[in-house]
Amino acid sequence: MLFDTPIFFVFLSLVVFSYWRLGWRRQNVFLLLASYFFYGWWDWRFLLLMIFSTVIDYLIAQRIAEETAVDRRRTLLIVSLCINFGLLGFFKYCNFFIDSFATMLQTMGIHNVPMFFLKIILPPGISFYTFQEIAYVVDVYKGELEPSRSFVDYGLFITLFPHLIAGPIQRPSHLLPQVQRLRTFNDRAFFDGCMLLLSGLFRKTVIADSCANLANAAFDGRLGSNFFSTLIGVYAFAWQIYGDFSGYSDMARGAAQLLGFHFMLNFRQPYLARSLQDFWRRWHISLSTWLRDYLYIPLGGSRKGPARTYVNLMLTMLLGGLWHGANWTFVIWGGIHGAWLSVERLVWPKGENSAWYGRVLTLGMVGVSWIFFRAKSLAAALEMLRSTIHLQWEPQYGPELLFLAVVSGIMLLVDYRLETHGEEYVFEKAYFAAPVCAGVLMAVLMIAFAASETNAFIYFQF
């Protein structure tokens, strides 16, 4: 059930209407069942897998809290991690490693080796709910969180449908207490939720889908193979993925607010970042903070000297890249970010790269790395980079570059206003008439200019 389809808005309307007519405990039961229905809409077999994973971690967390022996607590934690990473690894990476092994054998001259191969379908959102489950069990193990005594509450924390498929990854300490306490209807929060839904839908259907048409043409080779086609493809995809994922996050946060929940901010004007470290404080914040707290810091962070810090940065970003998908292009994308983060820490140890060129350099580096993120294969990404030595101009490039310039200008101006006013959507803190007018304008633009080609949310595949 995609967020930008009529069926979702019918589903959301029915859920919101029914939800606010129930008592608190019944609200949680109703939302849990509605979330199961939402997830099972694709395939009920995926729903059984998610429920199995949820039940296992619920029971293990209970046992960890009850145990006093350190060794037993650690053993239970390891069991939970093995189950979670085992399920994630099997469904997400089994085909990838088998295929990579076969390719390695071919490069060694060994051909026609019979191999057991499964065509495994990736369950929607498995990366997101698995990371939430891991965070929950780890926090209980560290004594930072009391385990939920109610399976309904814990299950709802994991499966609440606005964040279930593509995040934001909810921290247990932030969302679980909201599930466990009484929620009351708030007019302003409801209005803000509607505006976030509208803003997110605008980013997806007008910005992301329009840029996707250009990005697809460039990466498929339909615009040629030269510097200008690569430039168009890179920055069309940069605005596509930003509009797509920030739009999804806004819609997820908006839907949650209609139900009385508050989700963490997942994007904070990332293309205004002055450094790559600043970029990761602004881009996919729920993932970057998860990687920091549950991977980078446990590895030692920056506490064990510069050399170990660079190794930890690289490992964190390589695994962050692999989290995005079973393809070497994602690993290289993560490696580029890890290497550049290390360079920044070496050149600007105190983060003083705050001049204007910091933004230009960061945007350029992020743009180059997007080639590996978007390309279908490593060979395609390298070919696209090699093509930049050719400066062959085509008449069609003029209107396409002008379109990207207009999109970039509008989005940067919007982000600049959000940045300077501390707003979550345009005119959030202005008088009531201003956000209403902005909403009407977005609705008109969606009707007039929304791309005719429908593109699924990019992060649904992760």
Cα(445)–Cα(344) distance, integer angstroms: 40
Could you please report the per-residue DSSP string of 215-257? HHHHHTTTT-SSHHHHHHHHHHHHHHHHHHHHHHHHHHHHHHH
Cα(216)–Cα(239) distance, integer angstroms: 13
Of 206, 197, 244, which Cα lies nearest the Cα of 460? 244
Amino acid at 143: G
Cα(89)–Cα(97) distance, integer angstroms: 10
**Is 337 tagged catalytic?**
no
- Is the Cβ–Cβ distance between 252 and 244 less than 8 Å? no
Of 395, 393, 375, 394, which Cα lies nearest the Cα of 385? 375
Amino acid at 96: F
**Of 284, 324, 390, 421, catalytic:** 324
CB atoms within 10 A of CB 26: 12
Q: Kindly state the tokens that stand for 442.
A: 């977005």
- Where do runs of H (alpha helix) occur along 348-432? 356-374, 378-386, 397-421
The rounded Cα 71 to chain-centroid distance in angstroms is: 35
Amino acid at 430: A
Could you please report the per-residue DSSP string of 49-113? HHHHHHHHHHHHHHHHHH---HHHHHHHHHHHHHHHHHHHHHHHHHHHHHHHHHHHHHHTT----
| Active-site annotation, residues | 324
